Amino acid sequence: MRGKFITIEGTEGVGKTTNIQFIQNWLDAKGLAYLCTREPGGTPLAEQIRELLLARRDELVCDTAELLLMFAGRAQHLHQVIEPTLGEGAWVLCDRFTDATYAYQGAGRGMRQDLIAELELIVQGSLRPDLTLILDIPVEIGLKRASERSAPDRFEQEKSEFFQRVRQGYQDIAKNDPERCVIIDASKPLVDVQREISIALEAFWFSSEESG
C-alpha cells in the first residue's frame, strides 16, 4: 500500500521546525516508516536550486524565473525521493510543497493561479498531499521570530504586506480544500498548538485506517 503524504505550511516564523519534530515523534510512536524532507530542496540538485532561490542578490529575480525554479526543484524531488518513497509504502513528511507556490508566487507575487495549476499538472500529474497542516500566525509576530533566528534570506527581506497576502493565500487554500487542509493557530502556547496538531493527525490516521 502506498504511504501517505503529509505537508506542513505557513508564513515565516510560524514554528514549522519545532512542530515537524513533534510530527516525527507521532510517526515514530505509530511505528510508521517515513521520510522527512523539505522544499525547496530534498535532493542534491534541488538543494542547489534552493540556494539559488534563497540567496540575496543585486539582480532582481523575475517572478517567472522564481516560479520555474520552484517547480524544477519539485520535479527532481518528486522523481528522486517523494514518489519512490510513497511507492515503497513509507510516509513522506514534507516541510512545504506546492501550496507554498500558490501562497508565495501566486498570492504573494501575483502570478496567475491557472499558470501555477498548469505547472502543477505537468510536474505532479495527479499527486497531491493527503494531509496539509497550515500553521497560522499574525505576520508581525512571525517576522519578529524569524528575524531573531537568522539574517533574512531573499524571501524574508520582503515587506510585511507581501506576507499578509501569503497568509491570506494559505487561508484561501484551506477554505477551498477543507478535506485536506487543517489550519492550526500557531500563536497559542506550544502545548496547545501541539494538541491541535495531534487531533488533526489522529483524525487523519483514523480516516486512513477506515478507508483501508
Give the whole-angstrom CA distance, residue 113 versus residue 17. 28
In this structure, which amino acid lies at residue 86?
Answer: L
Among 5, 104, 163, 170, which residue sits at the site for ligand TMP (rule: CB under 6 A)? 104
| 100 is a contact residue toward ligand TMP (CB under 6 A) | yes
Tell me the closest approach of the beta carbon of residue 126 to ligand TMP, in angstroms: 19
170 interacts with ligand TMP by CB under 6 A: no
Contact between 40 and ligand TMP by CB under 6 A: the answer reads: yes
Least separation in angstroms between residue 62's CB and ligand TMP is 14
**Nearest partner of 73 among 92, 103, 96, 89, judged by Cα:** 96
Site for ligand TMP contains 39 (CB under 6 A): yes
Residue placing its CB nearer to ligand TMP in the complex, 80 or 208: 80
Minimum Å gap between C-beta 28 and ligand TMP is 23
Is residue 41 classed as helix, strand or coil in its secondary structure? coil
CA distance 63 to 75: 18
- Written as nine digits, the cell of 186 is 500557531
Only one of the segments 36-44, 55-63, 129-137, 193-201 lies at the binding site for ligand TMP (rule: CB under 6 A); that segment is 36-44
Q: Reduced to 3 states, what is the DSSP secondary structure of residue 212?
A: coil
Minimum separation from the CB atom of position 30 to ligand TMP (A): 25
Q: Could you tell me the CA-to-CA distances from 150 to 14, 142, 156 in Å, in that order?
A: 14, 13, 10
Part in contact with ligand TMP (CB under 6 A); list of ranges 38-46, 127-135, 171-179, 182-190:
38-46
Which part of the chain contacts ligand TMP (CB under 6 A), choosing from 99-107, 137-145, 177-185, 192-200? 99-107
Sheet containing strand 5-10, edge to edge, reads: 34-38, 91-95, 5-10, 131-136, 181-185
Asked if residues 82 and 5 have their Cβ atoms less than 8 Å apart, the reply is yes
- List 49, 70, 193, 200, residue binding ligand TMP (CB under 6 A): 70
For the chain, list the strands marked E by DSSP: 5-10, 34-38, 91-95, 131-136, 181-185
Options 5, 34, 155, 163; binder of ligand TMP; rule CB under 6 A: 155
**Which CB sits closer to ligand TMP, 18 or 207?**
18
Site of grid cell 487543517:
182
Give the SS3 label for residue 136.
strand
Binding interface with ligand TMP (CB under 6 A): 38-40, 70, 96, 100-101, 104-105, 155
